[in-house]
Amino acid sequence: FCRSVTRIKLRGRDSTNVRVNKHKPWIETSYHGVITENLDTVLLDPPLVALDKDAPVPYAGEICSFKLYGQEVPFEAVVLNRTSGEGVLRASRPVDCESQKEYTFIIQAYDCGAGTSGADWKKSHKAVVHIQVDDVNEFCPVFREQLYKASVIEGKIYDSILQVEAWDQDCSPQYSQICNYEIVTGGTPFAIDRNGNIRNTERLSYDKQQNYKITVTAFDCGQKRAKEDVAVHIDVKPVCKPGWQGWNKRVDYEPGTGSKQLFPRMHLETCGGPLSGVRAMVELQTNHIGKGCDRETYSEKSLQKLCGAASGSTDLLPAPSPSTNWTASLLTDSGRDSDLIYRFDGHQAANVPDHVVPQNLTDQFTIATWMKHGPSPGLRAEKETLLCNSDKTEMNRHHYSLYVHNCRLVFLLRRDFTQVDTFRPAEFHWKLEQICDKEWHYYVINVEFPAVTLFVDGVTYEPYLVTDDWPIHASKIDTQLTVGACWQGGEVVTPRFTQYFRGSLSGLTIRPGRIETQKVISCLQACKEGLDINSLESLAKDIKFHFNPAQSVLVVEGEDVDSINTAMTKVSYINSRQFPTPGLRRLHITTTVQCFGEDTCLAIPDIKAVVMVLPPSEPRITITGSNRLIRPAGDVQGQQGVAPFKELHITSTVMKGDIHRPGVMELMHNLDYCDILVIGEELNPERESLEIHHNALLGKHLDATNSTSGISIYGVDSMAHYEQAVRQVHYRNWRPATLSERRFRLTCSELNGRYTSNEFNLEVSILHHSAPVEHVNHMAAQPQYMRPVHHPLMIHTFNSHMSAATVVIVVCIAALVVIVVIGVYRIHATHQEGSREDEDEVKDSEVDWENSALTITVNPMEVKEEKREEEEEEEDEEQVGGMTSAESDNSGEDEDEEEERGGRELKGKLEWNSSSVTY
């Protein structure tokens, strides 16, 4: 029984304990908390409190812990009072808002169980906890760019030029948002709003200031300022005007440098407009230079030779000279870089000499000329004649002529009567703008009767009107060829010029017997300067370009602006002359822009620029060699004669422009003529000649003409070829008895006289041989031939202050000279024929007498007798009118008269140096 009672009691006690912790703890279903970052206390709403219905029973009614459930929850719950169930939520590690702004996790409360052992504990339901992390303003605003740039157009007010932007790393809107921007730089015409938009507060001027540099800072909503401010650059641009940019108004061109780009950085500004095509025309204006551009200015004959024209043309407007003096009265344009240009103002004309006029005009011939002509004055303009062949006397028939009438070019050709007496083509008319445009043009009329063709600057033009006329009846009336007007020899009281020309002409030529070829015509009028395009292969495929024949106008077309810009940067200027004409060349660019669906949409201003051709280094042409040649009469009389210029040298030098190494540099270039002129009396064709053999010109671009005044070698060729040719010029005199010397002058030219050499003078002295004879003169043995010695004593030392003794000495010496000369001449005259026969045998006479001196020995006892004889000679001279006694004795014979004249010439040229006379 006791054991039963005891088991009942134990069983009852256990039942009582189980019934003690019969309730679960209770908490709220959700909690909201706030924690400030970098702190550990969480403020919960509602507070963390767990209740248990088992209270106040110890353990069962007490709260022992709170447990949190979630991934890496940085919080922990702590029980502050087990009886009341109060707890607190704390951060287990630092919380960063920038890393995570909110946390959500589960919390449960646990009671203390049924006893001290903590067994039979109970847990509450799960509650959700939301924690928000409060931000701290720990970061400064930072700008997104290190530098801001913008551009504005002058004169315009902008609502926003550009926007700066800063940001903040703080997590909260309060501290992460930028609430304000501020311009730090003071005194600027700009403002900024709270969104970072910068605007100008006044109209900006490009001329006043072209760029601005300002500094901007930012503030977040916690009024924390940016750690680093930002720079803002604002450029002011002029008002956008469509046009070409990046070009220079002047381009310098150094001669000899080939092709040079004119606009290497040029581009077209279109202000953003959509374009469908661009057309640019570049024009090189050279009308003020010579005959319209930089052409070769060699002589007309040299140019024709250079271009391969057939010989036989007649230059009707040559440079004035003793042999071509009919152009001396005409007006010439000076300062035209050696271009020979004749200007006619309606009052000048010239008759071409009959021996110059071509006499063999057939059914084929060519007339060519350069002409610049403007509109004729007056409503009823008169004919202006360039070239006219008319009757010299009696009648006024025009056989052929070339004239301008009302801006029409007319060529008249009246043929003579032949077997057929019918109307034939007589007048050929051309109406062209070039005739009156006041510009230089090259006109060539090719006559293949009855067809007549006109070439203007190499382009063919057929006559628009051809009129017929009767042939001219044959007559014995001479004709007169004139230039600049027409000769009216009949039907007037006084023959005169009529139909004067007003304009400029150059290079007027007639070539009988054949017509000129297109190739030669193009060569004669070709410009040596013009426009060019470099690197054609690099141009875009859509680019089209074309030049005019003279390459003075270039047209570039394309659809893309970039392609046009590339093409324009390759436009170049080139001048192929070695010595170009210095000065300005004007450039004119006109541009047309097309838009889609419109003809033109943008007006591009024209460009005016200049190419400055710098002066070339001028050459100095120098002719050197021996200035005196002494040869026996036998050499001069021989079949070949003598070559006076055999030792001649021609060189050309320029001064170097290098300042570091200054000096003289030899330059190789071409010459276009060398003239050898006879000084003194002209050559006598009956006894002497100056000539060059045709073989000396073979293989060279040279030709030669000669006359009694000298010889001219012309053609564009090297200095070496000219030197070789001049060395082979021979002088021959087959009757040298009366000649003691001949003097010549040589000059050479480049570019028709633009650069000329020095005047090289050469004297050829002729030594005459004679057999020795006995004579009564008291002179020692002496040379038979004497070189004239020019001494100023015989001319300039006689004055009024001389003493009587000096006068006597001078008179004695003069008398002695006269006697010696007469004696030598008598010996020479007596043995002249014998010396001619013996000249071939006496070859040792080729002695250079240049340094020889004459020594005269006189018997002092005979001085008085010689003075007496001298006075008698002077009296005889006065009685016979200036002739010596020897001359008067032989005056009856013609040959002797001629020889006596030669003796007088010899006496006048011989002057005796008193220092070489020994008494």
Residue listed under structure tokens 């004139």: 482
Residue listed under structure tokens 């004879």: 773
Same domain as 435, residue 321: yes
Residues ≥6 apart with Cβ < 8 Å to 438: 372, 373, 374
Lowest average pLDDT, out of 363-367, 382-386, 910-914, goes to 910-914
The answer to whether residue 891 sits within a structural domain is no
Residue 111 lies in domain:
26-134
Same domain as 547, residue 417: no
Mean pLDDT of 144-160: 93
Structurally, how many domains does the chain consist of?
Answer: 5
Mean pLDDT of 448-465: 90
Q: What is the pLDDT of residue 395?
A: 79
Beta bridge partners of 695: none
Beta bridge partners of 846: none
The answer to whether residue 18 sits within a structural domain is no
Highest averaged pLDDT of the listed ranges 589-598, 618-627, 664-673: 618-627
The answer to whether residue 804 sits within a structural domain is no
The answer to whether residue 858 sits within a structural domain is no
User: Is the predicted pLDDT of residue 774 greater than 80, yes or no?
Assistant: no
Q: What is the pLDDT of residue 776?
A: 38
Of 667, 668, 671, 648, whose CA–CA distance to 726 is shortest?
Answer: 648
Cis peptide before 141 (omega within 30 of 0): no
Residue listed under structure tokens 């053609």: 715
Which two three-digit tokens encode residue 272? 């953003």
Highest averaged pLDDT of the listed ranges 436-450, 473-487, 825-839, 889-903: 436-450
- What confidence category does residue 275 fall into, taking pLDDT thresholds of 50, 70 and 90? confident
CA gap 699, 825 in Å, rounded: 48
| Dihedral of alpha carbons 46, 50, 54, 59, sign | negative
CA gap 28, 46 in Å, rounded: 8
CA-CA distances (angstroms) from residue 222 to 37, 174, 435, 483?
16, 7, 88, 102
809, 814, 817, 821: CA torsion to nearest 10: -160
The domain boundary, picked from 613, 642, 673, lies at 613
The 10s digit of each residue's pLDDT in 85-118 is: 999 999 998 888 888 889 999 999 999 988 877 7
- Asked if 566 contacts 283 with a C-beta cutoff of 8 angstroms, the reply is no
Q: What is the pLDDT of residue 782?
A: 35
Same domain as 595, residue 500: no
> Which CATH number covers residue 70?
2.60.40.60
The answer to whether residue 835 sits within a structural domain is no
Same domain as 669, residue 581: no
Q: What is the pLDDT of residue 810?
A: 59
Same domain as 663, residue 514: no
Read off the DSSP letter of residue 239: P
Same domain as 535, residue 521: no
Q: What is the pLDDT of residue 202?
A: 94
Helix (H) or strand (E) holding 670: strand 670-679
Indicate the angle between helix axes 894-909 and 804-830, nearest 10 degrees.
Answer: 140
Which of helix, strand or coil describes residue 75? strand
- Asked if 419 contacts 335 with a C-beta cutoff of 8 angstroms, the reply is no
> Which CATH number covers residue 381?
2.60.120.200
Same domain as 754, residue 647: yes
Question: Counting every residue, how long is the chain?
Answer: 919
Same domain as 740, residue 722: yes
CA gap 686, 691 in Å, rounded: 14
Highest averaged pLDDT of the listed ranges 294-308, 341-355, 895-909: 341-355
175 half-sphere exposure, CB direction, 13 A CA radius = 14
Residue 113 backbone class (left: φ over 0; alpha: ψ -120 to 50; beta: rest): left
pTM for this prediction: 0.58
Which two three-digit tokens encode residue 51? 């209740």
Residue type, 399: H
Same domain as 357, residue 503: yes
- What confidence category does residue 423 fall into, taking pLDDT thresholds of 50, 70 and 90? confident
Q: What is the pLDDT of residue 6?
A: 38
The 10s digit of each residue's pLDDT in 820-867 is: 667 655 555 544 444 443 433 333 333 333 333 333 334 433 434 444
The answer to whether residue 49 sits within a structural domain is yes
The answer to whether residue 742 sits within a structural domain is yes
Same domain as 129, residue 150: no
- Asked if 272 contacts 594 with a C-beta cutoff of 8 angstroms, the reply is no
CA gap 906, 232 in Å, rounded: 102
Of 506, 525, 524, 512, whose CA–CA distance to 327 is shortest?
Answer: 506
Q: What is the pLDDT of residue 769?
A: 66
User: Is the predicted pLDDT of residue 879 greater than 60, yes or no?
Assistant: no
User: Is the predicted pLDDT of residue 779 greater than 80, yes or no?
Assistant: no
Mean pLDDT of 560-569: 89
The answer to whether residue 191 sits within a structural domain is yes
Which two three-digit tokens encode residue 459? 């382009």
Same domain as 667, residue 580: no
Of 730, 909, 692, 733, whose CA–CA distance to 821 is shortest?
Answer: 909
Taking 3-state DSSP, the helix, strand and coil percentages for the chain, each rounded to the nearest 5, stand at 20, 35, 45
Q: What is the pLDDT of residue 263?
A: 93
Q: What is the pLDDT of residue 802?
A: 40
The 10s digit of each residue's pLDDT in 569-578 is: 999 999 998 8
CA-CA distances (angstroms) from residue 209 to 54, 147, 236, 237, 284?
88, 20, 7, 10, 37
Q: How many CB atoms within 10 Å of residue 602?
A: 20
Same domain as 404, residue 307: yes
Residue type, 144: R
Q: What is the pLDDT of residue 826?
A: 57
Lowest average pLDDT, out of 427-431, 611-615, 681-685, 914-918, goes to 914-918
> Which CATH number covers residue 588?
2.60.40.680
The domain boundary, picked from 134, 157, 176, lies at 134
The 10s digit of each residue's pLDDT in 723-771 is: 999 999 999 998 888 788 889 999 998 887 888 999 999 999 988 865 4
- Asked if 351 contacts 388 with a C-beta cutoff of 8 angstroms, the reply is no
Q: How far apart are the first and last CA of the chain?
A: 207
Highest averaged pLDDT of the listed ranges 175-184, 339-348, 358-367: 175-184
- Asked if 473 contacts 415 with a C-beta cutoff of 8 angstroms, the reply is no
Q: What is the pLDDT of residue 9?
A: 41
Q: What is the pLDDT of residue 420?
A: 59
CA gap 282, 810 in Å, rounded: 81
Of 108, 68, 71, whose CA–CA distance to 90 is shortest?
Answer: 68
